[in-house]
Structure 1
Amino acid sequence: MRPAGSIPPGAPDHPSPPLPPAVERGGRRAGAAGRDDIRVLVRLLQPGSASRRARAVVREVLGQAGLDGDAIADAELIVAEPAANAEKHARPPYELRVYSLDAVPAWCEVVDGDPDVHEVRIILDLLHSVKEIGLPLLAENGRGLLMAHQLSGGHCHVRSTTAFTTGTPGKAVAFALPVPSGDRLAFPSPGRDN
């Protein structure tokens, strides 16, 4: 895997953060043996405009992949939530990563400079374990994650990572993108770093 797109000048030269070991695809695990082409597009999100920039990048990438307007709009709503949460609750750097499998955008991550995954993990674990959940239960925190969870078909996770732009520890709130086939190419839950 190698980053596509530009990394800001002066950013440290370091390896890409690891992807989960494989991707679920049509009942098989793709990428595990390195047979599939996995690429990542990285964009720095500036404080004050992270949500807007994340939406624009996702709109462009999915539009180029031929997705319909409804699927693109859903993906824009999903990415806007973790980008806004990153600005509100975490510190920079803020990054957007779009992972493509065989040239199909399949997975998206919003990365921030706060390595604490605990609170996000609790909310996502709750969302994964409950069939129906009402907003009163998420009155204080988690409404954006609820929306991301629902619109991504439950394919929403958090993991520890390292920022491409600075090499500092952080976290990634990740979700499956809609693909032209209508399915989701979702990374499996990699143990406790999900």
Structure 2
Amino acid sequence: MRDPTPRVLLTGFAPFGGEVVNPSWDAVSQLDGGTIAGHRIVARQLPVAFGASLACLRELLDATTPNLVLCVGQAGGRGEVSIERVAINIDDARIADNAGAAPVDTPIVADGPAAYFTTLPIKSMLAALRDAGIPAGISQSAGTYVCNHVFYGLMHALHERPHIRGGFIHVPYSPEQAAHHPGAPSLPLGTVARALRIALHGALTTHEDQRIAAGSEH
């Protein structure tokens, strides 16, 4: 008999761009099988590949039937946990993905809307992270690489499943990676895993998001 406990699908990515680790997966995997706010965490890795990542995500949505989905990716150069607000309908790769593809100015969904907003309570998640002393912010752009590709594809899929909420978080390099990128900020994996746990708890327990300023001038 299937476990009736409600589930959260939590995804991270494989290493890419010459890196041998990816802190998104390394942190996400620490939460696999745990429970947050009465929800079982199912952590899975996505490939860093346009198209294949979304095919994998759709299979996971069908297999896990989650109540909430949080996808996590690496954003080297950022110094804080970045809660993404919006995904845009464009692929524009600066580097090739792990399958060698590098689409330029290509819609993710040919007839899809220009953008989707997250359906997670991002301001309450932000407040919880900052209250815990974790550097965090709201990001207004998830980029145009595979992270945004997955974020947009997730929200497009959930458009037909409005009972499932979803969103995306970017995390900085791990200290191991930052050692090879002089001057780049980083966060320990334990801190990132704790941040994801706090963010998920906020997402699962918040019924009406806070209204706090978290915008940017650029």
- Taking structure 2 as the reference length, the TM-score comes to 0.29
Higher share of residues assigned strand: 1
TM-score, structure 1 normalization: 0.31
